[in-house]
Amino acid sequence: MNFPEISVIVSFYERIDFLKLVISGFEIQTFKSFEILIADDGSSREVCNMLSRLIKESELEIKHIWHEKKGWRKNMILNKAILASRGDYLIFIDGDCIPHSHFVEEHFINRSQCVVLSGRRAYLSERITRRLTGTNITRKYLEGRYLVPLFSHILFMKDGKFFENAIYIRSKLVRRFINRKEKSLLGSNFSLYKDDILKVNGFDEQYEAPSIGEDTDLCYRLKIAGISVKTVKHIAIQYHLYHKRLIWNNRNREILNDTVSKKRYYAEKGISCHK
């Protein structure tokens, strides 16, 4: 059996319409040696059945990792997906973010031991999100000649934001200049060697609400463990589908403050719970 060089872990819950678009983005990747693991935080049986059909119809290697819905347990299902992954290198993406056609390739060729790559995303408007189909994604509707009218639409209609992040830059010199400053980790777009995330015991499952726990906390602990952040803005690109924003939880800040005060890099409740 040939093992994939990369495992792409996609966090997911219920939005099968979004996931179909994300899968379409992975169908046109320039780098092919990867598997996809859908880290499903308790979607309904109906959605799981639809996902099962989607996996059977796709030519991609896709595995569904699911657990029962008991509140927000995204970090737990991500840890379970890490254990189920077969690649030595991991890419993390959310189920509402469509990858650029060079997304996997750029994460792979820029990888390095003891380094986590952090990309950025362009936020699509509700109008553009409704317009998207699997067909126009595979035809690179969000890239190339379509980029200028889309950018103009957002610029003049004030519809969407940070669409400049969708500009793909090939020049190595320009890339180095733009990414000369280190930025924080973005939970929907980062990658690292599996060994490096195991060093910090994966995601901290003490977090039971979105924000901070999936990226800010992990970023802090990785740095404490000696793993640096390298920004790949305008290199590893993704497009965020429109939806209403989730509400933050103040409890998350308390957990993070405790981790920082103790300079703790190894998650107290992490991936080791599932071995």
Q: What is the pLDDT of residues 211-225, one digit of tens each?
A: 899 999 999 999 999
DSSP letters, 13-32, are -S-HHHHHHHHHHHHT-S--
The DSSP output letter for 210 is S
3-state secondary structure 109-146: HCCCCCEEEECEEEECCHHHHHHCCHHHHHCCCCCHHH
CATH number for the domain formed by residue range(s) 6-274: 3.90.550.10
Give the pLDDT score at 40.
98
The pLDDT of residue 148 is above 70: no
- Residue 28 vs residues 104, 138, 199, 241, 269: alpha-carbon distances, Å: 10, 6, 33, 18, 37
237 sits in the region (left: phi over 0; alpha: psi -120 to 50; else beta) called beta
The DSSP output letter for 236 is S
The pLDDT of residue 153 is above 70: no
Which range is most confident: 112-116, 137-141, 142-146? 112-116
Tokens read off for 111: 């990888």
Give the pLDDT score at 247.
66
Question: What are the pLDDT digits (tens) for 54-111?
Answer: 999 999 999 999 999 999 999 999 999 999 999 999 999 999 999 999 999 999 999 9
- Average pLDDT value over all residues in the chain: 91
**What is the rounded distance in angstroms from the CA atom of residue 183 to the CA atom of residue 35?**
28
**What is the rounded distance in angstroms from the CA atom of residue 213 to the CA atom of residue 74?**
9
Tokens read off for 31: 């780098």
Q: Which of these, 17, 83, 85, 9, lies nearest to 40 by C-alpha position?
A: 9
Residues whose CB is less than 8 angstroms from the CB of residue 112 and which lie 6 or more positions away in sequence, other chains included: 230
The DSSP output letter for 193 is E
Give the pLDDT score at 17.
97
Q: What is the largest CA-CA distance in the chain?
A: 52
The pLDDT of residue 150 is above 70: no
